[in-house]
Structure 1
């Protein structure tokens, strides 16, 4: 895991670290700038290459929104909400607009439908049958903030919103939670983050670790119910900023995040890079442990020297096969500052592994395994039984580093991570205070996609950081 230093936590934001997704650290020794994008990139798996796709009239630049792909109309990508922060921190507001990218025709369309959710960030949205189901999130203005636990449904046939009123006791208001569909067609809500004001200018955050089931009653898609569930097994430690995807066996996988320890005026925590699986059939968590490459083990048995991929990029320490390995990696900023990241990795084979009938042991220790560094807010996708992990962020002292690396893991074999795109140290930079106000001018009037917005969203506190 990676360490995150202490910092003051009063302020506002956009979705940066997980626990600070909403903690909004604004008073810092260095003032950082926030740059948001509305670019669209496509990764070609066969060609192992990224392509920037230029499509006219995209949604305004934003972060902390939700995007869902559905098969209707030859394939559609739906986007709702999110937030905007100008580079100089003078503007900040939440969106409440709904957009669809028609994948067949490569055209953007803004869908204007009344009765939808209010402007928010850090909400979660999934495709359920022929609807989009949206839960939670938060909204922050200059004067106050609010977390939500409301549920909305958007009908993909009629293009209409409806607010659901499930029976039973549901989750408390939160943002940044897990929201996935089970094989039975129910919806799982797990974890998330929220904060409460304990006194003037002092907030206390909560990293939730409870789980709820949202179920549509038989024969009536308009009636829903909440049920709290208590899964067994090796549960993830409390965290926020974790990433979620659904494996081919319908299990939900959870990666990384940040675990924070809060004091009244400071925030300290660890960034994580562990992998967990939730089996909704058995209502059980278990840790995902890699077995190591079989081909590598066979070569070692024959006495041939192996050269693990990516080892030349890392300096490894660790005298014995069963002792933890300390990996030291350096990231160089554009201004020449060198930040050293230290990871302590358990020796392969010590921890439990993903449930399997394969009794092959893990790869012999001695060389640090290739794996994503600890981070929060990475993007996950599963295609052809492989998990793809892109980017994310971590913090070193008062500096935030945004990552652009890409990894792949075969979920059927669960042997080892493969590096598809390594982090380029030259591309890693900390964006500090400049006089740029280009994005501020461009984004004026963009909130809500042109709809009338709330007065309290028009102002910004000093400096903005992302919240989820």
Structure 2
């Protein structure tokens, strides 16, 4: 029995004031009833009193006191968690139809579309959609999503608009908007005036029951107005789903895949639907049974191309036979069992499309056909799920992903990624994108003006100078010295407020999967995403920007700390049992090390550990053998140029410099192409020809961007800062004697 003085002093300090607290009642500690503070006191003080002859050092006393405080704070946290669970304990008893109807009634209270400036970025969310505004190259659109804190799920239906130049978020409320959802898909159309959205899911707060949407919406970004598109026949529209993908081709919207999740099973879909934006009709593509087509999947990539669309990757769960062995037997088995195992797809398909014949009825669908492509060269290895991709200048920009390494006793060991890749759609080839320090410019050019409007103004000035040079008969090299009778728009600079200085890092964002990507004005924006550690799921609350033309760093638009995870009851019990065993068996140093590791969100995966091991000099032979496995599956990542007879950019050459050097050649290419199409170039003005030629040169510049990036890195390593051709210089310095 402990002294009453010690117990009374500790009992007065007990924060719980529990009637059953063993310290408050001055009772000897028992394991059947106690408060966290009392049990912490027993382990730290009681054992020390029993060991008078073995007095611990001051450092150990401090560590134990710190551990006691930590246990007490954990008790408080669990009490709050329990209260949160009690608040949402009836979350599974709600009727989803009633909840959605309440959302509808609440939304009807908005009499008109209102736009409000937000104090900061929107709340964190996963499975939302981010899109570059098609009507305004200075805006991003963000809609929907969900946030799960470990206990309850919250869904959103707010539309947020981010103004890039102002660094400003706006929230749009509308009387007619889609209900809260996540896992939906949307895409712009060939007509930049509209954005189309389909499907998604909604669940009860504890995610016990799910509701999938089958509604189809059209958003007009300029006016912020939503319009629900009703189908003429119920069987003439896609069924409800989430996790699908959409893209556009000419006047059509393409929809494929996804899944339907019920309380009993998850069904993955492989149907193809096409929506005609002119006649407002859905077409279900009926393909021959013998025709090769993609397997059912979700979370894949679907990008537009000139003759249709391309599909890559995805995720699904397929049935597999697993042998079940008897307990205590090594040879005899009790039979096979069908279970669902995850499957990460790494195949690629091309959807070839053709317009209906001229004069066909409006109900005639376009001709479609799936064609299997070869596996892309230099595909990311290992294959990964949740690696999102967005379209940019004839290529796909990929970021992140997760790969399940192995199943251990503790659960699935997963590896997360934060690598950037560019997938050239036409060449079917991946190239890694690496950030690099910005090069020092020889002179301050007009492109360095702040803001997108300044860059556009500089491009317009350059184009007008070159047009003036052509009209006067001067050379393009003299265009920079010409003066223009041109003034920028009045009040243009006054509309933009100065943008704050944003931190720039030479490392990509933290590894994650299912991040939302969008490219606006050649800048890649990475929003949110998910990271898992054990049974915990972290939703990132950040936005980053990377200039794809320069790759000179990752700009942090905003980044807020990850919110606390509300642990489930199973996690609480596991932590309690693990903590008790650890206190009894492990020493103080190991406990401290474990606590530090538990606080970190990122832990290196086994693959990363293996890479560090093989990088040492003693294991160089192991590293070579390990890297050889990748060489068997894919080709080298060295960029190879394709000779198509068109002018080729040089390393370190910007788009403006490339066009200034090859402008005459691109105009010849354009006029030849026009004549082949039956159009006479003489019917076009010089400015129109110049603009079209610049678009062709820009397309070529982006098509070769990964090759030039690889060459620029080689030149940087060799100390080469610029590549010039002496034969093109006008000073005649082509001979060796002249140079000397």
TM-score normalized by the length of structure 2 = 0.43
Q: How far is the alpha carbon of 1:232 from its aligned partner?
A: 4.6
Q: Does 1:186 align with 2:304?
A: no
Q: How far is the alpha carbon of 1:205 from its aligned partner?
A: 0.8
* Matching residue within 251, 266, 270 for 1:130: 251
Q: Within 2, Cα distance between the matches of 1:43 and 1:414?
A: 22
After superposition, give the CA deviation of every residue in 1:431-456 in whole Å (9 maximum; x if it has no partner). 5569xxxxxxxxxxxxxxxxxxxxxx
Structure 2 match to 1:242: 387
Structure exhibiting the larger radius of gyration computed from Cα positions = 2
| SS of alignment partner, residue 149 of structure 1 | coil
Structure 1 match to 2:404: 260
Higher strand share: 1
Measured at CA, do residues 185 and 226 of structure 1 come closer, stay the same or move farther in structure 2, by a change above 3 Å? Answer: same
Q: Relative contact order, CA 8 A, sep 6+: which one is greater? A: 1
Measured at CA, do residues 225 and 71 of structure 1 come closer, stay the same or move farther in structure 2, by a change above 3 Å? Answer: closer
Measured at CA, do residues 232 and 98 of structure 1 come closer, stay the same or move farther in structure 2, by a change above 3 Å? Answer: closer
| SS of alignment partner, residue 318 of structure 2 | strand
After superposition, give the CA deviation of every residue in 1:192-213 in whole Å (9 maximum; x if it has no partner). 0110233668420100000010
Structure 2 match to 1:318: none
Q: How far is the alpha carbon of 1:264 from its aligned partner?
A: 9.4
Structure 1 match to 2:432: 287
Structure 1 match to 2:607: none
Pairs within 5 Å for 1:46-85: 46-70=165-189, 72=191, 75-85=193-203
Structure 1 match to 2:563: 428
Measured at CA, do residues 280 and 88 of structure 1 come closer, stay the same or move farther in structure 2, by a change above 3 Å? Answer: closer
Q: How far is the alpha carbon of 1:83 from its aligned partner?
A: 0.8
Q: How far is the alpha carbon of 1:71 from its aligned partner?
A: 5.8
CA contact (8 A) 1:213 1:229 kept: yes
Q: Does 1:204 align with 2:341?
A: yes
Structure 2 match to 1:110: 228
Give the ranges of 4+ consecutive aligned residues of structure 1 lying more than 4 Å apart after TM superposition: 14-17, 218-221, 431-434
CA contact (8 A) 1:94 1:139 kept: yes
Q: Does 1:273 align with 2:408?
A: no
CA contact (8 A) 1:174 1:193 kept: yes
Structure 2 match to 1:227: 371
Structure 2 match to 1:172: 295
| SS of alignment partner, residue 153 of structure 2 | coil
| SS of alignment partner, residue 247 of structure 2 | strand
Measured at CA, do residues 58 and 432 of structure 1 come closer, stay the same or move farther in structure 2, by a change above 3 Å? Answer: farther
Q: Within 2, Cα distance between the matches of 1:201 and 1:88?
A: 28
Pairs within 5 Å for 1:405-416: 405-416=542-553
| SS of alignment partner, residue 419 of structure 2 | strand
Q: Within 2, Cα distance between the matches of 1:99 and 1:393?
A: 27
CA contact (8 A) 2:150 2:537 kept: no
Q: How far is the alpha carbon of 1:251 from its aligned partner?
A: 1.0
| SS of alignment partner, residue 290 of structure 1 | coil
Structure 2 match to 1:92: 210
Higher helix share: 2
| SS of alignment partner, residue 546 of structure 2 | strand
Q: How far is the alpha carbon of 1:282 from its aligned partner?
A: 1.6
Structure 2's unaligned 5+ residue stretches are: 1-124, 129-148, 322-336, 358-364, 444-503, 570-740
Q: Within 2, Cα distance between the matches of 1:257 and 1:208?
A: 13
After superposition, give the CA deviation of every residue in 1:294-334 in whole Å (9 maximum; x if it has no partner). 249x9xxxxxxxxxxxxxxxxxxxxxxxxxxxxxxxxxxxx
| SS of alignment partner, residue 273 of structure 1 | coil
CA contact (8 A) 1:15 1:122 kept: no
After superposition, give the CA deviation of every residue in 1:109-158 in whole Å (9 maximum; x if it has no partner). 22111311111111111121111100111112122221111100011112
Q: Does 1:398 align with 2:398?
A: no
Structure 2 match to 1:5: none
Q: Within 2, Cα distance between the matches of 1:433 and 1:41?
A: 32
Q: Within 2, Cα distance between the matches of 1:31 and 1:388?
A: 27
Q: Within 1, Cα distance between the matches of 2:280 and 2:408?
A: 46
